Structure 1
Amino acid sequence: EERYRKKSFVHFDCQSVGVNIAEVIKTKNYSGIVKNTSTGASAASVNRNSIVGDKDDPDIIAGTDDGDRKSNCMVLSCPFFRNEIGGEEERVIGFTQTNTRRNQGSNDSLDQSHNSDYHRPPTCCGVAILDSTPSPAGQILPPLVSHRGHVIEYVDHGCSYYRHYFYGYDHQNFFGCDDNLGPIAVSIRREKLDADERANNLGKADYGQYHYRIICRTSELTTLRGAVLEDAIPSSSRLSSSRGVPMKEVLEYVLPEVQLSCLRQATPGAKTSEQLLKLDEQGLSTTYKIGIMYCKKGQCTEEEMYNNEHGSPAFEEFLNLIGQKIRLKGFDKYRGGLDCKTDSTGTNSFYTTFDNSEIMFHISTMLPFTSNNIQQLFRKRHIGNDIVTIIFQEPGSLPFTPKTVRSQFQHVFIIIRVTNPNTEGVLYSMSVTRSKDVPPFGPPIPEKPFTKSPEFVDFLLAKLINAENAAHRSEKFRAMATRTRQEYLKDLAVNHVSSTPLDNSKFALGSGRKKERTKQKVVPDLFAKGCVVWNIQVEDVGTASQVESYLAIASNTIVVIEDSSKDVIFTVSCSSIIGWTTQTKSVRLFYGQGEYIVFKVSSGDQDEMSEIMSRLGAVTQGCETSEMTLKRNGLGQLGFHIQTEGIVTDVEAYGFAWEAGLRKGSRLIEICKVSIASLSHDQTVDILRTSSTVKV
């Protein structure tokens, strides 16, 4: 029954897939414990033994953190920080050519405890919206956002669900204070479905005339967003098609952990809706303030950099490359806290835009310099409160370490070192050091330095934006966001509610009869545009381990979300799926050029395996694989030709390959138990020519 209920809810976005209300209750019970620990750069320099923190934190128990022991000429390994110095490997869970070669080159699998040191692919960090249903205004929201070839990461684009599918349309909101969850806000909207829009490879659905869109917001930073078919809800009093199922029964079914008796109907009007928009889109940002510190030859400390009164031609060249010099007085765009009226923060700065976002740079040499003040507090007041800071190093600068910085806010430092400045051969090298609770972010730094080019600028600006977005996932900023969210929810529960309980609200009619499930099989909804979810164990090739995960299959996108971290660890478009092989207890899902992932359903239930195959058949062009044993003719030939990706281009009519079932357009994904994805074209041809028995 529980599995049935969870599969009946079609999720709107990746964040929603990982929401577990029971876990939220458990988390909330522990969230009152205040950790008295330093954060950001300050964590690298304080005496850990003097801190009274979480007694269960292994780093507090040990009194220290050793860093990651990764250093180069630009940045040193530092306690409580993690470095990216270029050429880091991505965490790829599937069987790919890269993974296969990596594993062949080493007998040691990756230690799972170091997963956090491996970058997830940018698409995994950026994918968000999974539901491709057009909004009432006709807009289809993309699964991820990219700009000039770079994915914008760690943005909860799913937070726009209320704006696009509820705001301005007939719906109801309920607010209250749950004894276990604290303040909560629920939105619900009954919507008629378009049968033509629900059509897929299986044809048109003969069920699903209405569904209920639902948002459940808790005081933690998790929001359940999605929809449930009216036909899927067990009901004691299914009303006429014009009125639907009683609203209380809908919410009892979807949100069994929520204390519905605490909910009161929201006061109608634009003010309530505007507050919900602010609450939902609290984490969205289109403005960024980035610090830039200038480091001369022989320097490395914060104090030395703040006391450089002026820059240099090399520094000016870099600033003019990445932004536009602006006069602060009278500047009418995003000012990042700088004074645009009286020049109290300097006369000029640098500003730029990227992907509809504005970036104001706080440049150490352009902020007011104070003679005989070694701390330069006026400069530090701005840069020391920036989350992301660029350290610009001239040739001969000493390696940077966050140990020299005193700031609770500076969580990410992006180090840029110039070589051959102000020449045609100028090069820029990049490294990153980030607070250890900031997840890795892209784009991944290449091993070779950048030339002076628009491509370097785009890379750097994407890196800066993703750095700040990732930093908001750290403990300090999550705690701040949680407090803000709780205040929004409390305000709604106190100041924006009527006295009408959920029981007496519109459509809340019913009887005490036993609730009955619809006799027609509508769960899982194979025609859903959003994602249907199954619990699986996926084989992580990099760590040689089984990872408890969620498999979410939407009409356009497939994702695998790790249960423990709630991170997307695999994503692929449905159009890239080639096919699948079902074995006794597992599935191989092939995509792209023959790469594949292996998973099994956690329940071991064969019915769930069949459901997944049916869903794949509904939303992809893939199919079940066939195994063939091919014979050679009298000349030793197999009687067919293939392209690089294993696509059969020609089959000799009525030859052995033809008789076995091979046809032009067929695609080989394994030859003699070896994946095509792990072979070059020459290796593929060699196996076909030399193997005595060829199984494909």
Structure 2
Amino acid sequence: MDELNINDNLNISKNCQQEYPSLSSSFILQPCLNNCQQNEYVDYQLKAPLPISHIYEQEFFHSFHINYYGELEGEGLFLASLRSSRIKPNDIDKILSSSIPIKDNDQNKELLKAVIRTQYNNYYLSETINVKNEETILKCFIEKCQLSSIYHIEIVDHIKGNEKIVEFDKYNDNQLLNKIGFICQNSNQSNELEMLSKNEMSIEIENFLNIICEPIELKDLNKYDAHLDRKTNQDEIYSYFTIFKNHKIMFYVGSMISSDKNDQEFIQRINFISNTLLCIVFQQGNQISFQPDFFLENLTQVYITVQPIYINSQLYYKIEIWRRSDIEPLVDPPGGIFKHDKSFRNYFLTLILNTMNIILKKDFFYKHIVEQRYRLKNEYIIKLYQIFYSYSIFDLSILSNNNYNNDRQFKNLNKTRQTTSKYLQFMGKFIETFTNNRSKSISHR
């Protein structure tokens, strides 16, 4: 069975909304840790699930690599990809995420990259390893990820294995799409209808959006599934979208969402904005007072207000964070005053992603969003496991010069532990053979 039929609808249903106990919970204005302008670049730590489809497609898909599927003692089924490449000694420090000691007289230095996928997390690592002495390469990577021991492992020999894995990665990355509301508040506006009534954007708003994201045309766009009309542009002609450190972020800009002239309650706009867990409020004018109570009956858990100010004729943004009382404090990065420059993009998008990560820790959202992602991902892994296992045309004994005992008579997932060591030994031999053959090929050119 090669086809997958998995429901990818992760929207919170109306029934789930009725279960949610704290729609009316109070909001807290979180104190800014530093209310002075930030003049130094800070590389804030991103705390969010790792999307890997771009990594696999760019660094593995078009190069020789090996894919594996198997089972871990604790985490269950997993998929892994391993790639080896020769590197110069002077380049090691430039490209490694981490390293292990290598003897100076060892000329066979290889950079190995690995992508490991479990039901709950994705991992991306790179190491320098002496392939002549290494027979447990994948085991080393798994230990570095602090995962449990390998219970069973096999090589993916499906003729379209690479394509199926990249489809799997893209499917799961799409579930991580961040949908962020964005509205404007002008002076004397104190309810959602007034804020959603505008159909145009000011230059100040465009300047702000252009530094953190890019305008895109929705028609026929296949980068994401944000539930906007991509065929007829019925909802919007354009919207704003960005990819930051492989994370996709879609902005629902209130003034760009279509609204019928006879719709004085802006139902379409409210439907999009009120169902975002995080909403950006861009403030224009003097003496603007914001209260989350301006918005009624929505799922929004955090509002981030952005107010442009000028200091010594230079543009800055004052960032304030309103969160529901049952949401953990947001401290990294904090609110404050930040200069309008390229470093602001790194700060603000990190703030968005880290905030979304904290929101999803809340019991209700963890149950209805995160656990559903885990379930769908595991179902997909099981489907791939069945597809890869049933496809058996690749004789491993040929690759290992008949020194490998190709014993793959398995009927279920409870395989013997002896299989693990056999496949890891073969893996080391296979990479060593590949490296030696490649070196000979280069020397003959």
Shorter-chain TM-score above 0.5: yes
The CA distance in 2 between the partners of 1:274 and 1:290, in whole Å, is 31
Deviation string 1:276-301 (CA, Å, 9 cap, x unpaired) is 33545644899875433344555444
The CA distance in 2 between the partners of 1:214 and 1:332, in whole Å, is 31
How much identity, in percent, do the aligned residues show? 14
Secondary structure of the structure 2 residue equivalent to 1:277: helix
The CA distance in 1 between the partners of 2:59 and 2:330, in whole Å, is 31
Matches within 5 A, 1:434-583: 434=323, 436-437=327-328, 439-442=330-333, 445-446=336-337, 456=340, 462=346, 464-473=348-357, 474-475=360-361, 476=365, 478-498=370-390, 507=400, 509=404
- The structure 2 residue matched to 1:380, chosen from 270, 282, 304, is 270
Contact 1:364-1:383 at 8 Å conserved across structures: no
Gaps of 5+ in 2: 1-14, 95-100, 406-417, 422-445
- Matching of residue 391 in structure 1 with residue 281 in structure 2: yes
- Matching of residue 174 in structure 1 with residue 68 in structure 2: yes
- Matching of residue 45 in structure 1 with residue 53 in structure 2: no
Matches within 5 A, 1:643-654: none
Gaps of 5+ in 1: 1-35, 48-77, 90-120, 127-152, 232-240, 516-696
Contact 2:30-2:323 at 8 Å conserved across structures: yes
- The structure 2 residue matched to 1:345, chosen from 216, 227, 235, is 235
* CA drift at 1:327: 11
The CA distance in 1 between the partners of 2:390 and 2:45, in whole Å, is 40
Matches within 5 A, 1:25-104: 45-46=23-24, 78-79=26-27, 83=30, 85=32, 87=34
Answer 1 or 2: higher relative contact order, Cα 8 Å, separation at least 6.
Answer: 2
* CA drift at 1:368: 0.8
Contact 2:303-2:323 at 8 Å conserved across structures: yes
Instruction: Provide the residue aligned with 2:118 in structure 1.
Output: 218
* CA drift at 1:390: 2.2
The CA distance in 1 between the partners of 2:281 and 2:203, in whole Å, is 15
- The structure 2 residue matched to 1:183, chosen from 77, 86, 97, is 77
Secondary structure of the structure 2 residue equivalent to 1:262: strand
CA distance 1:488–1:160, shift in 2 (3 Å): same
Contact 1:196-1:204 at 8 Å conserved across structures: no
* CA drift at 1:413: 2.0
CA distance 1:199–1:332, shift in 2 (3 Å): closer
The one-letter code matched in structure 2 to 1:380 is I
Deviation string 1:513-544 (CA, Å, 9 cap, x unpaired) is xx9xxxxxxxxxxxxxxxxxxxxxxxxxxxxx
Contact 1:45-1:403 at 8 Å conserved across structures: no
The CA distance in 1 between the partners of 2:315 and 2:130, in whole Å, is 63
- The structure 1 residue matched to 2:158, chosen from 259, 265, 268, is 268
- The structure 2 residue matched to 1:406, chosen from 293, 297, 316, is 297
Instruction: Provide the residue aligned with 2:182 in structure 1.
Output: 292
* CA drift at 1:184: 0.9
Secondary structure of the structure 2 residue equivalent to 1:45: coil
CA distance 1:509–1:192, shift in 2 (3 Å): farther
The CA distance in 2 between the partners of 1:198 and 1:427, in whole Å, is 40
- Matching of residue 125 in structure 1 with residue 45 in structure 2: yes
* CA drift at 1:122: 4.0
CA distance 1:509–1:463, shift in 2 (3 Å): same
Aligned pairs, how many?
Answer: 356
Contact 2:44-2:347 at 8 Å conserved across structures: no
Provide TM-score, normalisation by structure 1: 0.40
Secondary structure of the structure 1 residue equivalent to 2:279: strand
The CA distance in 1 between the partners of 2:274 and 2:207, in whole Å, is 24
The CA distance in 2 between the partners of 1:397 and 1:85, in whole Å, is 18
The CA distance in 1 between the partners of 2:323 and 2:77, in whole Å, is 34
Deviation string 1:455-505 (CA, Å, 9 cap, x unpaired) is 637576555533432244232464454344323322321223356699966
Contact 2:292-2:303 at 8 Å conserved across structures: no
The one-letter code matched in structure 1 to 2:204 is F
Deviation string 1:543-596 (CA, Å, 9 cap, x unpaired) is xxxxxxxxxxxxxxxxxxxxxxxxxxxxxxxxxxxxxxxxxxxxxxxxxxxxxx
RMSD: 5.4
Contact 2:309-2:315 at 8 Å conserved across structures: yes
Instruction: Provide the residue aligned with 1:73 in structure 2.
Output: none
CA distance 1:370–1:267, shift in 2 (3 Å): farther
Deviation string 1:95-130 (CA, Å, 9 cap, x unpaired) is xxxxxxxxxxxxxxxxxxxxxxxxxx942415xxxx
Secondary structure of the structure 1 residue equivalent to 2:62: coil
CA distance 1:225–1:197, shift in 2 (3 Å): closer
Contact 1:299-1:305 at 8 Å conserved across structures: yes
